[in-house]
Amino acid sequence: MARTTPGKGIRYPLLTDAPDPNALMAFAFDLETIANAEDALRVTALTQRGALIQNSVVPSVAKGVAVKFTFDTSVFDPQGFANLGVNNDRFTITKPGLYLFGGQWNPQASGLSQYEMTIAKNTTGGPAVPNFRRHKYGPPAFGGSPVGSCVTAPFPMVAGDFVTLQTFWNGTPAGPLTGSKPQFWVLPLALT
């Protein structure tokens, strides 16, 4: 008669059962199956905590206004921070903690006088203090096109908080600008 533990369902015999090598074999195999599952969980916990999303389409970014990026591709997201079918512009947090967010988009134009990359918390519009972190760039140091731009920013988050990635630029081009395909990532630093 097969008996199982209440938690993990490990099959085991009683020694009062008729001797059955298959019962002990099933016990051993159950232990191995669960151990393999725990190994996979450990890998996820230690190495796949974050997420990376990208847009396969080059954006068109207007001049002189805060522009929010959208995304259509989840490169990796084992914790489910993004749900692009529901909201294609954000990471939404389910576990409270301190998170590090990063984003990159390289505008492609000459004559830029400034460009910014911004991580904005709980807003899809132009952000206001204190709900954003930013890296502002002046005129490109090498004057060329394209130019690199990224931002990396920490935020304390509670369940339900979300962040978006935005940019802003000014300069002599009339715009809108194209550039690289944007990407956006998240890494939990410390959970509560």
Partner 1 sequence: MGSVTSGKSIPYMLGTDPADPRFVFDLAASADTAFAGYDVSFAAGPRPPAFLIRQTVDSGSFANGNTAFVMNNGSVVDWNTSGGTVSSSGSWQQSSTEVQGWWMLGLMCSSATVSGTITIGSRIQCGFLVSTLDPVSNLFVAPSGDGGSNYSQLFQETAYVNDGVESNSGGDWFCAYVTVPVYRATITAQYEHFDPGASALKKVVAGSVFWGIRLGDV
* Farthest CA pair distance, the chain: 88
* 181/186 with CB nearer partner 1: 186
Q: According to DSSP H, which parts of the chain are helical?
A: 21-47
**CA distance linking residue 148 with residue 140, whole number of Å:** 9
Q: Which stretch binds partner 1 (CB under 8 A): 69-77, 83-91, 147-155, 175-183?
A: 147-155
Is 191 an interacting residue with respect to partner 1 (CB under 8 A)? yes
Residue whose CB is less far from partner 1, 121 or 181: 121
- Cα torsion for 91, 93, 94, 97, to the nearest 10°? 150
CB of 143 to partner 1, least distance (A): 13
Q: For tokens 């731009």, name the residue.
A: 149
Is there binding between residue 57 and partner 1 (CB under 8 A)? no
Number of residues that bind partner 1 (CB under 8 A): 54
* Distance, C-alpha 78 to centroid of its chain: 9
Cβ 72 to partner 1 shortest distance, Å: 27
Q: In what order do the strands lie in the sheet with 51-54?
A: 73-76, 51-54, 183-191, 97-104, 150-157
Length of the chain: 192
Can you give the binding site for partner 1, defined by CB under 8 A? 3, 5-8, 10-16, 24, 27, 31, 34-35, 38, 41-42, 44-45, 49, 66, 95, 97-98, 113-114, 116, 126-130, 132-136, 138-139, 151-154, 156, 168, 170, 188-192
